[in-house]
Amino acid sequence: MIVIACPGQGSQTPGFLEPWLTDASAREALERFSDEAGLDLVKHGTTSDADTIRDTAVAQPLIVAAGIVALDALRAAAPVGAFGGIAGHSVGEITAAYGAGILSDADAMSFVSERAVAMAEAAAATPTGMAAVLGGDQDEVVAHVRTFGLEPANYNGGGQIVVAGAVDALARLADEPLKGRRVIPLQVAGAFHTSYMSAARDWLASADRTVAPQDPSLRIWTNHDGTVVESGAAFFDLMIGQVASPVRWDLCMEAFAADGITGMIELAPAGALVGLARRGLKGVPTVAIKTPDDLPAALELIAQHS
């Protein structure tokens, strides 16, 4: 049984959309998504530099648009009923909501644009950042980072926790890590999935919008606690709350294993989640769809595990 994994912010690299634009339907979709997002996603996915696409307001719509294009290409070639479920990491949950039938592509792009702007504004209010802590007991690491006033943001499994908070606190953590742990600063614009994003969460919760979530037609797990969610409205509310709460990808991977997942396919811009799966889902084969050239490998994995 195959799970589709949808990556989050930080997966994008300059020019990563270029190979997808040779397909006329993909280009048409990206141009439409550009109009819906109010951004030139074709330009940002092909010629914009790393600093430009690191901007939260650009990165999040770009990642969701890429994931939708890759998913549509995969589903067009895969047999009916090929997938056992779908989940997304952070903003990838919006891609997953599209894949599960909770949101239309237009609603997904509309919501991710709102989310991106709200989080970018919250990040700009206070100088904050994020860092990955590698190795060690999870509870011990969390207790240690809290002594610096930092918060856990992403429980990624496999001995990796991303923490977030004030820039000076992150610098102190880097100078005083627990023995045997590595602290790696991340190139992001703010302390996402922490209390620093409370204003963004509250704004999203109160915003007047026409999005009408539908109940999922494909099993979907939530970053909130790794459980399967059967109500589209409930999943949408969880996505809003997740803006200021930790991503529990570790619990998602545990749930994948418990539910019998035997293979994982990560959508574009892919790479991060299959890397986590190598540690958190040892022995489970994976395929990262970075370009259309990776689709045959994904289809082969589906054939082996359907």
Q: Which residues are catalytic?
A: 90, 193
Distance of CA 122 to the CA centre of its chain: 19
Buried b (16+ CB within 10 A) or exposed e, 219-253: bbbbbbebeebeebeebbebbbebbbbbbbbbbbb
Residue 234 has phi, psi (to 5 degrees) of -65, -40
Contact 58, 39 (CB under 8 A): yes
The answer to whether the bond into 285 is cis (omega within 30° of 0) is no
What are the tokens at 26? Answer: 């993909």
Contact 214, 160 (CB under 8 A): no
Query: Whole-angstrom Cα distance, residue 166 to residue 105?
Result: 35
What are the tokens at 134? Answer: 């590698």
For 114-182, give the DSSP string.
HHHHHHHHHHHHS-EEEEEEESS-HHHHHHHHHTTT-EEEEEEETTEEEEEEEHHHHHHHHHSPPTT-E
Residue 128's closest CA among 168, 185, 167, 184? 167
**247: β partners:** 154
Buried b (16+ CB within 10 A) or exposed e, 124-151: eeeebbbbbbbebeeeebbebbeebebb
Query: Whole-angstrom Cα distance, residue 144 to residue 160?
Result: 14
